[in-house]
Each structure stands twice: as C-alpha cells, then as structure tokens.
Amino acid sequence: MASSFGAAQVLVASNRGPVSYEVREDGSLHAKRGGGGLVSGLSAIGPDAGALWVCSALGDGDREAVRRGVGEDGVRMLDVPADVHADAYNGIANSVLWFVHHMLYQTPLEPVFDAEFRRQWASYEAYNRAFAEALAEEAAEGAVAIVQDYHLTLVPGMLRELRPDLRIGHFSHTPWAPVDYFRLLPDDIAERVLRGMLGADRLGFLTRRWADAFTACCDAVVGGLGGTEIGVHGLGADGDFLRARSHEADVEERMADLREEIGTAPDGGARRTVVRVDRTELSKNIVRGLLAYRELLAGRPEWRERVVHVAFAYPSRQDLAVYRDYTAEVRRVAEAVNEEFGTPGWTPVVLNLKDDFARSLAAYRLADVALVNPVRDGMNLVAKEVPVVSETGCALVLSREAGAYEELGEDAVVVNPYDVVGTADALHEALSLPAGERAERSKRLAAAGTALPPARWFLEQLDALRG
Ligand SMILES: O=P(O)(O)OC[C@H]1O[C@H](O[C@H]2O[C@H](CO)[C@@H](O)[C@H](O)[C@H]2O)[C@H](O)[C@@H](O)[C@@H]1O
C-alpha cells in the first residue's frame, strides 16, 4: 500500500479503531467514526495516510462486519471472542490498569487480586497475543509498528519474539502511576506489564511527568529500562479540523438551540457559559465540578441568573457498574443544583448525556469558561480544543493533575481537583477576567494547544523510532 510515511510500512495497533459498525433494523451495516481522544488523535494519520490499523471488533456490529467481510481499506479488525475481549477490556484494562494509573481505587477495600483477576489476566494475555500475531502476519520485512495504550502492554514483547526484524514503538495515552501505587499490582503482573512494554525499541508518553514515573517503576521493579528509549510527545489538538468542522451547518443549528436554552440575563445581556465536555469517566471529576459550580452560586449570589453550566457527560464504559453508578450521580447532582437555584427563566445546569459531537462544538464556540478538572488525566484534549473554537476567547479552569497542565498551566486558572471551594473561586476568577485579558490568554492557549497536531505528533514518533 502507498504510504505517506516513506519507504517502510507503518502499522498501528489499538483496542478501539477508527470505525465501528451498527446493525440496522433492516440488517444493513452502518459505519460510524470511533470515539475517544486516542482515536481522534490517530485518525489524522491512520488508513488515509497509508498506515495499516489493527484494532479490535468491539460489539455485535463490528463482529458482524468481520463475518461479512465488510471493512475499510487499511483497517484490520480482530474478532477476538467476546468473552475474552470483555475480560481483557472491562476486567483488566479498564478495572485494573486504568484504576492504577489514575489512582482511582478506594484502597481500604480495593483492589482485591483474587482468582477471578487471574482468570481475567489470562484473557488479557490471549488478547495481547492475538494482536501480536496479527501484526507479525501483516508486517513486511523491517516495518514499523506503533502499539497504543494500556490495553496492549504485552504486545511489544510478544511481537519482538515473533518478529525481531521490526522497529516497535508503544505509546501510553494515560498517566503513569507513581512507584508505590503501581506496586499495588501483584509482583509478577507488575513485572509482566513492564517487561512487555520494554520489548519495544521506544516508548512514548504524553508528558515528562508520566515518562519519569514509568522510568521509576522500571528502576524499582525490573532494574531499569534495558536498551529501551523513552520519548515525550504531547499530543495537541487538530486546529484546522476543529475550525472548519465547528462552522458546518449542523453545528450552526445546534448553536441556535443552545443559545435558546441558555437564555438571557435579567438585564437583557448574554448569560455567561461555563462549558465542560467529557466522557462520563471517573477520572474526569464531573461530580466535584458540579459541586464547585453549586458552591459558586451559593457563595456568590451575584452570578445567579447570569451564568449557565453547559456540561456534556457522554456515555462511557457502561458495561461496568461503577461507571453506571457514576453517571447516575452526575445526573443526581446536576438535578439537585437545578432544583436548589433554578427559576422559571433560568436552568443553571444544562446537562447533556447523549453523544452529539456537533452540539459539543457549538458549546465550545459559546464558551466563556472551559472547566477541565480531572483528578488525573493523560493529557485532556478538551483543554486544548475549546480555546481554538471559542468565539469570544475563553478562560480555562484547569486541574494541575491533567497532562495538559504542563503546556497550558501558565495561562490557565489552575486548581487542585479535590478542592471544591478552590474550584468555585477559580470559576469566579475565570468568569471575572476582563474581556481583553481573556482573549489574549485564549489566543496563547490555542497556540500552545495546537503546537503538536496529531499528524506531526505521529511523525515525530516515527522519525525517532527510525533513528
Ligand atoms: O476506548 P474507551 O474505553 O471508550 O475510552 C476512550 C479513550 O480514553 C482514553 O483516552 C486518553 O487519550 C487521550 C489522547 O491521548 C487523552 O487526551 C485523554 O486524556 C485520555 O483519557 C484512553 O487512553 C484511550 O485508549 C481510549 O480509547
């Protein structure tokens, strides 16, 4: 296949691919774009640029597509048995590795690594092996393979054994846990994860902080990095795409709807908007964000009727009870704020639980303040995207625990994500910034946030990997 990456063939491997399928009532298959920050980042360099993307079939629609031989050029979907995928994805990747790196365990009772965990771990190994074998089969002599994220930590080591001729990279889109937290994992598993990743020639991380944490874990658990190189590549937003997409007709339509829902202040002026857009993900800290907004309205009554919090909490990982419970809590707290403060002409929180990309872009355009307050986050692309699209320039309230803080911290209003009162104060400060200063800061945030757009982010890694 022709590639825009030069002579060597390029392969990418990730759990979630660039496309997923739905079976319609009439039995036809409908393709839609895959979701999440990783996919948005990789889409700019995937099949269209000539890379082969190996990913997993994720649901019945995808499995049906594989069975019918329906697919896109440059994408190979692996039909791993559904129970093996569920154990690997829900069980190990999202309930163990994600929790470790985001430090989400309620440690008096969790984690418990029992026989069930060991059974799921066997599936995680089988799942990783399926990827390694597919990559080994697809790769031409001397090809470059870049493996993505915590779902596939064992692939580099397995692939190295099968195909010593390849250049192998791995990129982590999550934070990396500090040594003491990483060592909650059983010793043999901690070692397997690190040795699996160290099978790569080069490992990439989103920030220096996560790269250093990984190095510290290797020093403590396996005596160092061996010959593996470490690189930092801070994935940025795709400014050109966002600017163009946010002016398409569907976004304009939704702007009109949103403007009506936001309404006008009692003096007839425009209401301010505090916007957040997240998957309903435990690490994103949506509930404390709502409590901070409540605190703002309680402690500074001058903002009542003058501000609306437009919060997007898209469905995520709903197979896991803890995510379903979190979604219910987000809804409960948003309703409680509306009940406590709402008036006939003012809904303080406009909560959106349905996935609608065009509507979130409309909210970006209307944003006066973006609220990004994760307890821990690999990067957080929303922090980088809103300043690019916001029409009047937006202020950014940003958690110091988001990877994006390393690049955007100077022009953001920075918060400790656990401090609800501090976050309420930050919201007040952001809402009160003089228009000129807000616009200036927003311009600098947009420039920093688009400094390494996805295509360059990927090319940078390829160049480094090829030496
Ligand atoms: O595939 P899902 O289980 O639905 O989850 C979606 C993605 O979540 C994580 O995204 C991270 O990657 C982003 C890009 O580098 C980063 O900006 C964000 O802050 C992270 O949370 C996960 O790492 C991906 O593998 C998932 O596909």
Q: Residue 5 has what pLDDT?
A: 66
> Is the distance from CB of 342 to CB of 348 less than 8 angstroms?
yes
d(CA 347, CA 69): 49
- pLDDT score, position 72: 82
What CA–CA distance (Å, rounded) separates 261 from 363? Answer: 11
Residue 129 CA to residue 348 CA, distance in Å, equals 50
- Alpha helices per DSSP H over 350-452: 357-366, 382-389, 405-408, 420-432, 435-449
Q: How far is the CA of 173 from the centre of ligand 1 (A)?
A: 6
How far away, in angstroms, is 7 Cα from ligand 1 center? 30
Looking at the CA of residue 93, tell me the nearest atom of ligand 1.
Answer: 3
Q: Name 172's Cβ contacts closer than 8 Å, sequence gap at least 6.
A: 149, 150, 203, 204, 205, 206, 210, 214, 378
Q: Please tell me the distance from the alpha carbon of residue 20 to that of residue 53, in angstroms, as a whole number.
A: 13
Minimum-distance ligand 1 atom for the alpha carbon of 283: 21
> Which atom belonging to ligand 1 lies closest to the Cα atom of 378?
19
Cα 336 to averaged position of ligand 1 atoms, centre (Å):
30
Decide if 290 contacts 309 (C-beta within 8 A): yes
- Determine the residue type at 293: Y
Q: Which residues contact 432 (CB under 8 A, 6 or more apart)?
A: none
ipTM above 0.85, yes or no: yes
**Residues at CB less than 6 angstroms from ligand 1:** 16, 36-38, 41, 149, 173-174, 206, 235, 316-317, 377-381
**pLDDT, tens digit only, all 467 positions of the chain:** 445 566 689 999 999 998 899 999 899 999 987 766 677 667 766 666 678 999 999 989 999 999 998 888 899 999 999 999 999 999 999 999 999 999 999 999 999 999 999 999 999 999 999 999 999 999 999 999 999 999 999 999 999 999 999 999 999 999 999 999 999 999 999 999 999 999 999 999 999 999 999 999 999 999 999 999 999 999 999 999 999 999 999 999 999 999 999 999 989 989 999 999 999 999 999 999 999 999 999 999 999 999 999 999 999 999 999 999 999 999 999 999 999 999 999 999 999 999 899 999 999 999 999 999 999 999 999 999 999 999 999 999 999 999 999 999 999 999 999 999 999 999 999 999 999 999 999 999 999 999 999 999 999 999 999 87
Nearest CA, atom 18, ligand 1: 380
Residue type, 439: A
Ligand 1 centre distance from Cα of residue 141 (Å): 31
Q: How far is the CA of 344 from the centre of ligand 1 (A)?
A: 39
Atom number, ligand 1, closest to the C-alpha of residue 149: 25
Tell me whether strands 413-415 and 395-399 are parallel, antiparallel or unpaired: parallel
The CA 37 to ligand 1 mean position distance, Å, reads 5
pLDDT, position 45: 67
Helix (H, G, I), strand (E, B) or coil at 199: coil
Closest ligand 1 atom number to CA of residue 316:
4
